């Protein structure tokens, strides 16, 4: 079974084409050892099931079961849920979501790494189709309180229960975390919310941009440019770019770049290449190592490096720039 990865799938993904059938799209976020997801696959032959998980160990383990059981309508994706929700799914495209026992070290975790938080929930609600159900289970009372507060303050969702949560849901399969919680005498809290018809919260686009591309003319040699380089950082809103090293190749400079954006981090290389038969002309573009994706942050990195190169010498001029500014539309 070929592992799907958010970095390699099309943005957004045409799930009906990937599954070969138009069926309701059901998601489990952080499936762990897969008990819930595998059980769901047995019960929901009517659905296209997607499991999102960051742990390679969990993916390998559950992939084996998927293969053994021949579950063709279940696909596992190696991704942070936040990244997948932003880039793989279009607004109002998901029919059901399950989140079982997220963030087990809740109190020790910094808020920004928590799955249940305002930005991620808004993104999730944006991707839910009206009528879609969101199921959340936790065994941490403080997490249940925090989640209920967040969910109740979300205009796009209505509580399907008469109370903030229930202690069990009939017919629900027991996951590993639930079993451990019960064995240790802890309660479980189950919540069910439904997407209503109110307008979706604003959320980042799922669309991928074209690759950035800049053409420069400079009297400086690649060696001279490298000699002027110092580690640099650029920031715009929630996007941070750092370029800490540069390497000199035969006809190129390779800039080692780290791009950190709201729902995705990328470690990639931008290449400054001498143009064939055009002395003094250079193109700046992403190197195709490591499968870079054309996010707004990658465009910020290309723009910032191009501006730095242009600042090196009065004789350096811009011949062409195919990049997106941070506030451009499209
Ligand atoms: C506490 S375990 C629960 C596993 C399973 N759902 C259960 O109930 O037994 C949380 C799981 O979520 C995964 N996880 C945590 N944060 C995630 C994120 N942002 N995106 C995707 N998976 C995540 C972890 O790797 C882990 O497997």
Q: What is the DSSP letter of 180?
A: H
Mean pLDDT of 1-12: 90
Give the pLDDT score at 113: 79
- From the CA of 30, how far away is ligand 1's center (Å)? 3
Residue nearest to atom 5 of ligand 1 (CA): 32
DSSP secondary structure string for all residues of 18-66: HHTS---EEEEES-TT-HHHHHHHHH-TTSEEEEEES-HHHHHHHHHHH
DSSP secondary structure string for all residues of 107-141: GGS-GGG-SSSHHHHHHHHHHEEEEEEEEEEES-H
**Whole-number Cα distances in Å, 268 to 78, 258, 289, 292, 300:** 19, 6, 7, 6, 13
Phi, psi of 234 (to 5 degrees): -135, 150
pLDDT at 205 over 90: no
- From the CA of 308, how far away is ligand 1's center (Å)? 41
**Protein residues with CB under 6 Å of any ligand 1 atom:** 29-32, 52-55, 58, 80-82, 100-102, 104, 115, 175-177
Global pTM value: 0.92
Q: 81 by DSSP, 3-state: which?
A: helix
Which of the four pLDDT bands, split at 50, 70 and 90, describes residue 110? low
Which of the four pLDDT bands, split at 50, 70 and 90, describes residue 326? low
Which of the four pLDDT bands, split at 50, 70 and 90, describes residue 330? very low
At 223-265, the pLDDT tens digits run 999 999 999 999 999 999 999 999 999 899 999 999 999 999 9
At 305-323, the pLDDT tens digits run 999 999 999 999 999 999 9
Torsion angle in degrees (nearest 10) through CA of 310, 314, 316, 319: 90
- Residue pair 189/141 in contact by the 8 Å Cβ criterion: yes
Residue nearest to atom 23 of ligand 1 (CA): 30
């Amino acid at each position: 079974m070929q592992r799907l990865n958010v970095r390699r799938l099309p943005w957004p993904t045409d799930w009906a084409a990937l599954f070969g059938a138009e069926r309701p799209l059901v998601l489990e976020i952080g499936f762990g050892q897969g008990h819930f997801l595998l059980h769901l696959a047995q019960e929901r032959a009517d659905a296209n099931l997607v499991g999102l998980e960051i742990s390679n160990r969990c993916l390998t383990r559950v992939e084996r079961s998927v293969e053994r059981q021949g579950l063709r309508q279940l696909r596992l994706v190696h991704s942070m849920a936040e990244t997948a929700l932003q880039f793989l799914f279009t607004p109002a495209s998901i029919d059901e979501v399950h989140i079982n026992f997220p963030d087990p070290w809740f109190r020790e975790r910094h808020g920004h790494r928590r799955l249940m938080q305002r930005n991620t929930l808004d993104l999730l609600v944006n991707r839910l189709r009206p009528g879609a159900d969101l199921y959340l289970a936790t065994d941490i009372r403080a997490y249940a309180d925090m989640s209920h507060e967040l969910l109740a303050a979300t205009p796009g969702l209505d509580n399907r229960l008469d109370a903030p949560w229930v202690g069990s849901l009939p017919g629900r399969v027991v996951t590993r975390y639930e079993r451990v919680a019960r064995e240790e005498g802890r309660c479980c809290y189950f919540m069910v919310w439904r997407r209503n018809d109110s307008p979706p919260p604003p959320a980042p686009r799922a669309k991928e941009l074209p690759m950035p591309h800049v053409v420069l003319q400079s009297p400086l040699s690649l060696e001279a440019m490298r000699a002027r380089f110092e580690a640099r950082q650029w920031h715009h809103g929630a996007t941070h770019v750092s370029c800490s090293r540069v390497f000199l190749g035969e006809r190129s400079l390779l800039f080692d770049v780290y791009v950190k954006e709201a729902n995705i981090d990328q470690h990639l290389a931008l290449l400054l290449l001498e143009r064939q038969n055009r002395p003094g002309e250079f193109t700046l573009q992403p190197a195709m190592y490591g499968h870079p994706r054309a996010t707004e942050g990658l465009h910020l990195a290309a723009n910032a490096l191009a501006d730095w190169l242009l600042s090196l010498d009065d004789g350096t001029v811009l011949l062409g720039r195919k990049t997106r500014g941070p506030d451009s539309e499209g």
